[in-house]
Chains A and B, each alone.
Chain A
């Protein structure tokens, strides 16, 4: 929490302004009851109308002062909290954009999204509340105590009893209530979970005729939540009446013991009236301060989550001495004894991988789930740093290139097709910023996307909704292939990129791809042997190790793993 608040330094001038204005506002506030006491003591009791009027004018001035200062402090605190959260969001977003996949996946997409949005909003809220109320509460408490003592020191002992009483009350309620509110959240999550399961499993629930069972499950969760909520609210019900009763008893005490002091001439009536008002100011400020105990833990949780992001250093750094590749090679990838393990993992995912893919060749990678296929290709654009060995592109170690330069050479089509909101044209241009209409339509042609795009309302200018919700999985995949094609990269990487296509379209796309990838290295991750049977080189991965490299026929002859896979897949044919 404190670490994050250190970032407020930049706004220290404005924060100082808030403090000053709050201080001035509180001073004005504190003067009003004592002026009222003066009016009673020196005005009414002495029948002095001019005094009443002059004191009244002073009161008016203070009243206006209160408003002016509070508007000013309010202005500054609004700006500080908004600008602070803007800064925080910027820092997080930039940080995340520079994360390699390693750091990114450590957090997970959903978690990163909440961290950069909700958590920041939480912090913003707390900053605002602190600047607005928490700054004022201690000043008001101290000022109130000072004024109360100044008005009549003899009654101070009443406050000395009342203040601890309030603290004890608030602490007790928070102690018992706080726990219940925490468990309420857990139970709310449970209700959510059961309902989510009910909704996603609706077909299965009906198919197995388990409606009553599910209803009972939901009811249990719901009852549990309700009971806890009722308990929590019942405890909270003590808070306000409790505070009021302490405040009122304080008033009674002040009147009774004040009366005795007035009797012996040690106090004036106006002062007694002022004292009552100071007492209520002090007690309410105290209650406000105790709310800090409620707000801070929540915000601290958010702050911690934000800090975790900000403090994570990306493992992928730009080299100091940039190297460029040899123009003649264009499109050559070489793995030299590459091993890789995910950070924190005991076992390496890839062990001692070496191979070379050259321009104009198709290299296929095949193997079961968990054999490390996707990891292997994710190393080429340097989404991760290799743990051992080196990867060369066009004969230069990719660690010595700038990431931008390296990735510019690569056209990648990931397993999960991702499109961005924007027109189809925008999405294709993502691959090449200055792509011409011809280049775009050419890419769409090869990806077998021209037909469905032209059937759409506005053709290539059709808007793709966020997450590509308005296109089917197969269409998304074809568009993401087109995006890679328009780039005309030196290296193509297809990570099981045809999975959502029906076999007919799949075959067509593959065929037309052959014609354009002639001058590039093509690396394909595949599940089915039939689809890569003609590759120049097939790499068989088995639990992170290359168990064989060769053409289909070679592997059939001398690789057991491959033969096993082939026999299970191809016996059907």
Chain B
């Protein structure tokens, strides 16, 4: 997916869009239709845009003919020596009105269109945001954040810019072409015929060149992707490249890709760049032909000079929309492709709804039971075959095992982020499937190593644990979480704003904040993920202390890395490959001399 992003980023919005390869929608017809349907709420505006755009175009294409009449009047004057200034004044008045009306309506049209496409896109973004909250977690585990983000911002951006211009341009181009053809026929069918020859000619030429340039553009994007990939890789591994003295290898490879890129790049630019001159050539040939043939007809008195002048203007006006139509169709295609990607999210299967007769949990004791739970992230591969756990009110359950043993899966199931395939999980005897999700989650607190804090103040971040918490409650929670002290040392205290990357706090401090958050929410059941080695000893002691404060009097599941927690736990569950392979207290397990004893002793085996 990142390839696509790279291409998009590097694509830019230069003025040289012609010939860039078009992203094709997989199902153009349906996605296009849905895109159209999404315009429905804007239907009145769109109709207005249609009407104003047609009026504007009609008035603008009438003007060369009127102008031609003026020229004819002047020719008359030159020939006869008498200038009819009254008549000329009338014509100029007409022109004045035509120009004003045309510009005015084109302004109205663009003005209205400004909100049409933006509103459509706003709705799309809101829909996605809505949808995100209804999707099962599985979706997020399987799709990269960057990809979803790119759909919400880049893709909707593509849609809005394209539609903004595209829709009105299509209307005005079509009206212009048809209108001009009709007017030209009324002036001179012969000259019209000459002008028409240039249309298919320029279309063929443009299509021909575009095919070539697309080939090179594709090559360019491929090379650019390769180059970006290489740069990303080498820069991310800078320290290793230096340590192993591989700078020159990296530069050599870079230069090679870069050279290839430059070669395809200039070819792509060249071919897309000659579309305009070729189009102009054809338009100019039409111009020359009209001048010559028109002049000859003029001498014979078949056509007036004003008409020739009008024709010359029409010839120019006609060529522009034809060149445009080719471009717009490309843009529309990428807009539909972008819309399709947005629709894909909106169409994803949602999380199962709460059962209709599901209950609210009022207050809980905290008995948790897993009964014959079977689960797999994919239907085909079962991770947990048959899991049974029973944790009584207020007990501490430590879960240990090597990485990838399925410890996080337990969290996912208990919080009902994922649904069990078989068996059941109960809280105080009630199957969690019969409890409303938000009610269930309300009673379970979670402190993960992957701390999530948002770009807001410390206070807001702690208050995330409970709506409407008072300042006092927040400070008390921070105190209980051993976080009060360090917060006080920050320049703005509780009002310190966490920056976007959260780099103004250390990892350990962040974890203390999430513990404070859990304190505030005061849950009956806790899931704690202990910190590993990225935290210094002092903070680590604080975290441990805060966690044991928090765990006091609650049923707690602790994903453990620390021997102290393990030793004092009421129940230790040793997991491996998704199964609980051993369980019991510390002493019991040591006496079994099994996996746990092995794991425990290995910590000292170096000695």
Contact = CB atoms under 8 A, between A and B. Distances in A.
B513 to A, nearest CB: 12
B107 interface: yes
A181 to B, nearest CB: 12
A227 to B, nearest CB: 9
Contact of B63 (A128, A201, A219, A248): A248
Interface string A547-573: 000000000000000000100110111
A202 B280 contact: no
5 contacts: A192-B153, A206-B437, A207-B444, A234-B114, A371-B536
Interface in B262-300: 262-263, 265-267, 269-270, 273-274, 276-278, 280-281, 284-285, 287-288, 291-292, 295-296, 298-299
B551 interface: no
A66 B281 contact: yes
A219 to B, nearest CB: 6
A534 B604 CA distance: 11
B258 to A, nearest CB: 5
Contacts of B171: none
A369 B535 contact: yes
B178 interface: no
B397 interface: no
Given A74-B270, A222-B122, A511-B606, A36 B312 contact: yes
B196 interface: no
A383 B239 contact: yes
Interface string A219-234: 1001101100110011
A568 B541 CA distance: 8
Given A39-B291, A209-B442, A210-B464, A504 B598 contact: yes
Interface stretch (B34-42, B92-100, B328-336): B92-100
A64 B287 CA distance: 12
Interface string A77-93: 11101110110011001
Contacts of B74: 258-259, 262, 269, 272
B402 A502 contact: yes
A233 B107 CA distance: 11
Nearest to A316: B242
A572 B14 contact: no
B301 to A, nearest CB: 9
B291 A191 contact: no
A354 interface: no
A473 interface: yes
A75 interface: yes
A61 to B, nearest CB: 10
A66 B533 contact: no
A203 interface: yes
B245 A407 contact: yes
B235 interface: yes
Nearest to B13: A125
Contacts of B537: 368, 527, 565, 568-569
A152 to B, nearest CB: 14
B448 A203 contact: yes
B78 A207 contact: no
A109 interface: yes
B106 interface: yes
Interface string A303-333: 0000000000000000000000000000000
Contacts of B415: 203, 206-207
B67 interface: yes
Contacts of B107: 237-238, 241-242
Interface stretch (B224-232, B376-384, B426-434, B472-480): B224-232
Contacts of B603: 503, 507, 530, 573
A392 interface: no
A89 B254 CA distance: 9
B126 interface: yes
A53 B254 CA distance: 58
Shortest 3 CB-CB contacts between residues of A and residues of B: A233-B114, A237-B110, A369-B536
A515 interface: no
A451 interface: no
A52 B298 CA distance: 11
Contacts of A129: 14-16
A20 interface: no
Given A71-B277, A83-B266, 12 more contacts: A40-B295, A43-B295, A45-B305, A97-B234, A118-B10, A203-B417, A245-B99, A259-B85, A420-B237, A421-B229, A502-B599, A568-B541
A78 B269 contact: yes
B243 interface: yes
Given A109-B235, A193-B455, A199 B149 contact: yes
B274 A52 contact: no
Interface in B67-90: 67, 70-71, 74-75, 77-78, 83, 85, 88-89
Contact of B244 (A71, A241, A431): A431
Interface string A233-259: 110111011101100110110011011
Contacts of B274: 70-71, 74
B259 interface: yes
Contacts of B78: 45, 262, 269
B152 interface: yes
Given A44-B299, A67-B278, A233-B114, A83 B153 contact: no
B63 A255 contact: no
A381 B606 CA distance: 28
Given A56-B288, A223-B122, A418 B239 contact: yes
Nearest to B266: A82
B152 A191 contact: yes
Given A113-B232, A527-B533, A193 B464 contact: no
Given A207-B446, A466-B233, A122 B605 contact: no
Given A195-B153, A502-B402, A40 B269 contact: no
